[in-house]
Amino acid sequence: MKNLITTILLGCAVSVQAQTSTAHDIFSDTRIITSQSVETNWKGEGTFIISHRFGDIYQNDAYSILYNFLGFDGGANMRIGLDYGITDRLMIGGGRSGYNKTYDAFAKWNIMRQQSGDKNLPVAITLYSDISFISDTTNAVLDSFFVDRFSYAYQLMIARKFNEKLSVQIMPTLIHRNLVATKAESNDVFALGAAVKYNLTPVLAISAEYFYNLPGQLPAGFNDYSALGIDIKTKGHVFQIQLTNSPFLIPEYYIGATQGNIIDQDASGQFDLNLRLGFNITRDFQLGGRQY
């Protein structure tokens, strides 16, 4: 009788587990390319991340490709950051970018995970908010008020893992800059982002992302951000290589300050290629709950 009861209880447990399945690894990391993904760190998990964008690969003529060595010689921007999981659904992070010597801090809260079965939740949803501060003292535009140095970003991320190969995410976004350079620019910029990841192998994936800025918010010369990347996963590391039209690494800039389409044509008919190489290197480590 005891053996029969034990067998029934185990069968029920397996049945309940089978009825509800949670989608994991919708994206390779907490970032897709430059933008954030719906993924959050587990409780006690930290991530050290280095992001780098080189200068323009092509500048006016083909000779510049070799002369500037694919953009390695100038115009680079780098961000060093640290993220941490407060709970399995809430993470915080911060970093420092070379552009305008900008410091940033953010919080992400995963409010819903994609699940199938009895709890049929077709998408994962994460809220994201950040604040950035320009510490560059040589920027004359920012000399008036201390609060002018702050900008903010708010984002709703909705993602779905369709199968083991394909994942898609959309990102309605609002950014606010306390100070902008000209009257033609809006302090508030609304944008709609979209991203996709396709797994080629268990450790290799390609990804792409694009942000469309609603018309009438940015002056001439400012453009939508786009990027294409390759993700390489190893144990504890994710290495991402990218091509993008933006040197910026936080949403206040890559959404609101990107200048140049991937391919532009000037008044004389000459084509200009606005494309930069970049990479992200992340290293995960366990702090809270670690067994010493």
Length of the chain: 292
Q: Please give the full DSSP string across 18-83, using - where no structure is assigned.
A: HHEEE---SSSSSBSSSSB-S--PPTTEEEEEEEEEEEES-BSBTHHHHHTTTTTTS--EEEEEEE
Q: Under a CB-based contact definition with an 8 Å cutoff, are residues 58 and 276 in contact?
A: no
Please name the fold of domain 21-286: Porin (2.40.160)
257: closest CA among 118, 113, 100? 100
Cα–Cα distance measured from residue 229 to residue 222, given in angstroms and rounded to the nearest whole number: 22
- Model pTM? 0.85
pLDDT digits (tens, 9 = 90+) for 19-30: 567 888 899 999
Q: Where are the domains of the chain?
A: 21-286
Show pLDDT as tens, one digit a residue, over the chain (292 residues): 455 444 444 444 444 444 567 888 899 999 999 999 999 999 999 999 999 999 887 666 655 556 565 666 667 899 999 999 999 999 999 999 999 999 999 999 999 999 987 778 999 999 999 999 999 887 766 666 889 999 999 999 999 999 999 999 999 999 999 988 887 788 999 999 999 999 999 999 999 999 999 998 988 889 999 999 999 998 778 899 999 999 999 999 999 999 888 777 666 666 667 889 999 999 998 887 665 4
